[in-house]
Amino acid sequence: MKKLRLYNGNIQGIVVKMAGMSVSEGCFRRKMTKLKRNQNMCNIIENANPL
């Protein structure tokens, strides 16, 4: 019984870790797309009026 409880605890810990990873990954991905969008805007502006 004790072994089973420990096993369940480990699974819960892994699930929580994975959930945290996916959340942070989502935030990171959003930031990356934002950065890319900003880069594209800069490129468009540069192309519109070359220095």
Q: Please state the domain extents for the chain.
A: 17-51
Global confidence as pTM: 0.41
Strand residues in the chain grouped as ranges (E): none
- Report the alpha-carbon distance of residue 43 to residue 28 in Å, rounded: 22
List of the chain residues with pLDDT < 50: none
Q: Degrees (nearest 5) of the Cα angle 43, 34, 21? A: 145
Phi, psi of 47 (to 5 degrees): -70, -35
What pLDDT is attached to residue 50? 62
Q: What are the structure tokens assigned to 48, written together?
A: 């519109």
Q: What are the structure tokens assigned to 30, written together?
A: 């959003």
- Report the alpha-carbon distance of residue 25 to residue 18 in Å, rounded: 10
